[in-house]
A and B are shown apart, each in its own frame.
Chain A
Amino acid sequence: MSERSERTDQLGAGNPSPLWEVFVRARRGLAHTHVGSLHAPDAELALRNARDLYTRRQEGVSIWVVPASGITASSPDEKDAFFDPAADKVYRHPTFYDVPEGVAHL
């Protein structure tokens, strides 16, 4: 179900590492949603990179990375180590910053 246009398979310089589509379940009760793609030589690295790239702000309780030929999902057992570290990085959210009164458009 790759979102690539058909030309992608024909092009490509040298030996690029495979492309993976990334799906994130944002909260319990929701379906996994496609969030984008990334490159990685294998599934383990793809999952790792997806965690860093698409859930830096702790969006997501589960990630799937999908190569052309299969699906790999993060295991629920690992979710503590996978997702908790972002919880304290409040400075990633705009509301962390005090904006003096009267400042518009910021």
Chain B
Amino acid sequence: MYGNDFPGEDAPGGLLGEVEAAEAALRAAAERDRSAAGPGEDLAAYFAEVVDADQKIEPRDWMPEAYRRTLIRQIAQHAHSEIIGMQPEGNWISRAPSLKRKAILLAKVQDEAGHGLYLYAAAETLGISRDELVELLLEGRQKYSSIFNYPTLTWADVGAIGWLVDGAAIVNQVPLCRCSYGPYARAMIRVCKEESFHQRQGFEILHTLAHGTPAQKAMAQDSVDRWWYPSLAMFGPPDGDSTHSAQSMAWKIKRFSNDELRQRFVDMCVGQAEVLGLTIPDPDLRWNDERQSYDYTQPDYDELMRVIKGNGPCNRQRMAHRRRAHTEGAWVREAAAAYAAKQRNKEKVAA
């Protein structure tokens, strides 16, 4: 629907295949008849009916206030994560070890800015402005993904972010392509299509390092050691402790629980780690025949809470960086606004 089909699509069944399927389902549902023709007196019933039919809620539809608030919070957090998430990887653009890697990394970080903007635009359809959302971020009143409060200490961390962090993000995001809110679902379809290259470039970096010199291999293993558990924590607290999940599932904002997605991620990573020749730092990781899944060690959720509360290694640095860019850019934004106003006046005079 965005006309951005890529040459050489993935075989169906891959993550990109799931995104395509979500897009097809979105179209099919849009064409399906429901019994009622349009919203009658009972707006809440109509809303429920649209959601039940797996059709999309659109911006001008009536929606429960809590649905609107939940979506604003979630989409904004997602947008903030893209913008703050540029920093840890941006940290290595100037030092990328080959010109090809430099170009790829720059394009990737640029994509993240783009994804942040798609998502801010989706949030704005819910009746809040981007400026307000940016202010909420800068004042620390809205969060971003805690993973970006960890430092990128070596080049291998760029690989680990691509493989593990983007991998976890994709597992999280692919179901969002089927979210009940139309603008969010459409933004996520676009984001997921573009992000499939992100995970692959990370995997390729780690694969090259792991098959390179002993120093490179050690660098790769060290970064996987540091990023594995924070990546598992990206799926949020365990289902029992998650406050928002049940209602979000009923509204089809969220389609799978935190623990389901975390398990899916672990199951995906094990085989990939073997191909990389790197070790997942979990001595208790083993196949469970009964569950047809891997048993694994949970991340440290106390650490997750500390980082969310602002006490991770880089929270202060990331926020200070964002605030500085925003403050230092104010005079440029003001000049552009003043210029536009002058031009409008000139046109008025001419007319």
Contacts and interface: CB of A to CB of B under 8 A. Distances in A.
Interface of A: 3-8, 11-17, 19, 24-27, 30, 33, 35-39, 41-42, 45, 53, 56-57, 59-60, 89, 91-100, 102-106
A94 B127 contact: no
Nearest to A100: B275
B42 to A, nearest CB: 20
Contacts of B14: 105-106
A8 B129 contact: yes
Given A12-B129, A106-B272, 5 more contacts: A13-B129, A27-B3, A45-B340, A105-B14, A106-B203
B241 interface: no
A11 B127 contact: yes
Interface of B: 1-4, 6-8, 10, 14-16, 58-60, 100, 103-104, 107, 110-111, 114, 117-118, 121-122, 124-132, 135, 183, 187, 190, 194, 196-197, 199-201, 203-204, 207, 268, 271-272, 275, 333, 336-337, 339-340, 343
Contacts of B4: 26, 57, 59
A51 B33 CA distance: 37
Most buried by A among B111, B130, B135, B343: B130
Contacts of A95: 6-8
A88 B103 CA distance: 11
A57 B111 CA distance: 10
A11 B136 CA distance: 15
Contacts of B132: 11-13
Contact of A106 (B107, B110, B200): B200
A105 B15 contact: yes
B323 to A, nearest CB: 16
Contacts of B121: 36-38
Contacts of A104: 268, 271-272
Interface of A is mostly: loop
30 contacts: A3-B60, A5-B125, A7-B127, A8-B127, A11-B128, A11-B129, A12-B132, A13-B131, A14-B131, A16-B130, A26-B4, A35-B190, A36-B118, A37-B124, A41-B339, A56-B110, A56-B114, A57-B6, A59-B4, A89-B103, A92-B194, A92-B197, A95-B7, A96-B200, A97-B201, A100-B207, A102-B271, A103-B203, A105-B14, A106-B203
B59 to A, nearest CB: 4
Contacts of A57: 4, 6, 194
Contacts of A100: 207, 275
A7 B126 CA distance: 8
